[in-house]
Amino acid sequence: VLWQKIDRPIVGGNQTNGQKQEQLTLIAFDGVVYSNKDHYRLESDYVGSYNLIIDRVNEDDQGEYQCQINTEPRKTKRIFLTVQVPPRIVDFRPNPPLYSIRAGSPLTLACRAEGTPAPNIRWRIRDADVNRIES
């Protein structure tokens, strides 16, 4: 049993005949883990069964995985792993926060957040959504 992670090049990367090339990263073969990531391990329930276990899943583990058995013809199964990441604010401006500003002056408030799935950002003032405030 062969376990691989399938990495796809970034758009605009090397392509052959207009086709995107897949890069296969060996994780495990015949019961032995070859990955340099220490959180991959194999578990065998019975002879010929090799379950890939990913301890402490992180964002870098997201992607497509392939299990292959070397029969004739070869047989493969693929699965896509999506790693859910809680939303977090990664940039907020102004920083430090403003407490006062002169009337009539322009002000830009910026908030950038990351997470999977992508978080929605809502601005509120006095318990009302900013985009719904009527003047």
pTM (predicted TM-score): 0.63
Question: Does the pLDDT of residue 65 top 70, yes or no?
Answer: yes
Per residue in 69-113, pLDDT (tens digit) is: 888 898 999 999 999 999 999 988 877 776 788 999 998 888 899
Which residues on adjacent β-strands are paired with residue 29? 2, 32
**CATH architecture under which domain 2-81 falls:** Sandwich (2.60)
- The domain segmentation of the chain, as residue ranges, is 2-81, 85-132
Could you tell me if 49 and 28 are in contact, meaning their C-beta atoms sit under 8 angstroms apart? Answer: no
Rounded to an integer, what distance in angstroms lies between the CA atom of residue 96 and that of residue 113? 17
Q: Token pair of 21, please? A: 């090339």
132: DSSP letter = G
Number of H helices, E strands in the chain: 0, 13
Could you tell me if 81 and 62 are in contact, meaning their C-beta atoms sit under 8 angstroms apart? Answer: yes
